[in-house]
Amino acid sequence: MAVYEINGGRPLSGSVTISGAKNAAVAILPAALLVSGKCRIENIPDISDVRILLDILDGMGADVHCPEPHVVEIDCTAVHCTEPNRDLVQEIRASYYLMGALLGRFGRAHVALPGGCSFASRPIDQHIKGFLALGADVEETEDYVALKSGAGGLQGNRISLDMASVGATVNIMIAATLLPGQTVIENAAKEPHIVDLANFLNTMGARISGAGTDTVKIRGVNALRGGTYAIIPDQIEAGTYLAAVTAAGGNVLVQNVIPKHLECITGKLQDLGARIIPFDDSIRIIRSAPLRPSTAKTSPYPGFPTDMQAQVCVCMALANGTSRLTESVYETRFFGYCTELESMGANISITNKTATVIGVRQLHGATVSAHDLRAGAALVIAGLAAQGITHVRNIHFVERGYEDLIGKLTALGAGIKRIEG
């Protein structure tokens, strides 16, 4: 199997352009099932999760065309399949958005339980709660979820989520868009890609308000029309490059970003000693002084994102002092990558949901294995900052969410290459 080989210890310099948001793309593509006509979706990231979703939609009968890089034209008018390919569905977590899309369009769905990264139980109980409130009958097994319109039909309803679940908010928004009546989601997630999904659907004719707040209202419409939409830049990809400069040192301009979306990340990196200079659609990061210890606790947006926990942990591992990092979203996310970092010389201990990170002068190269997408990115960052050669295995996790990682890092002066196994 392919691995990344990283010759670390080099500061990063230059500029990097951020791709479209993975988490927005994997919600918007299933939502295209609701549209009558052709959707042209721009700023699509070229990553494996997107390619798999496009293969799923193509297999369901959608007309999928990529006329130029980072652009997808998709027409789902001819789709009649309500049971997408099981093997492909099980490759990615975001395939569960097909449940809401198929329920909303056809009143039924039969979708295998999704795959993707496995770092916590990550139940879909809030999704099911939403589908039931909309009037669906639900059959849930260890292998699949089957949905169909209940005896009273599907219609809008008020749904109060027990937690601000991103996935449940997305699935309910998609499912409710074409249903009669009004759906109100209380305690909704507020992440930027929630807003992006709502903007996409509204561009196609939906009536959604409140996205980005804790109360989202969806007034059902009879149909959506085709149109053109550009996806926002990827908050977490941008944060990952900012963390890489913080760990390895250097001076980099991170382009095609929305600085407001990154404040929950840049604030922590400033605490650690990075200098952040925001512009309209870019951020310059400079890190030359020694890193300082800090504390962080993950929480839903606009808090510090769980998807940046591992990358920031690498920075803490190189700080001059003791840092503490608490995970409040996914309880087992520390396990795995911290052990890999320890093999590179990091000093990390975990008690309950908190990692105590005692900074070391430097990390050293080692052979490490990624266990999920963001942990894999963290190991790449550790390799960039470490002295010597690092090999990162299981890179398919990383390539789920980072477009042209090798090319972008090489352009910044990193010593990194992909070696085929």
Catalytic residue set? 117
Joined tokens for residue 322: 């003791």
Q: How many CB atoms lie within 10 A of CB 3?
A: 20
Of 100, 95, 99, nearest in space to 114 by CA = 95
**Peptide linkage before 11 cis (omega within 30 of 0):** no
| DSSP letter assigned to residue 32 | G
Sheet holding 158-160, edge to edge: 158-160, 182-186, 215-219, 207-209
Cα–Cα dist 84/410, whole Å? 38
CB contact at 8 A, 204 and 239: no
Give the pair of three-digit tokens for residue 172. Answer: 């309910």
Distance between CA atoms of residues 127 and 1, nearest Å: 36
- For 211, half-sphere exposure in the C-beta direction (CA atoms, 13 angstrom radius) is 24
Please, what is the Cα angle at 370 between 43 and 9, to 5 degrees? 85
Angle 409-396-168 from CA coordinates, rounded to 5°: 105
Q: Which amino acid is at 142?
A: E
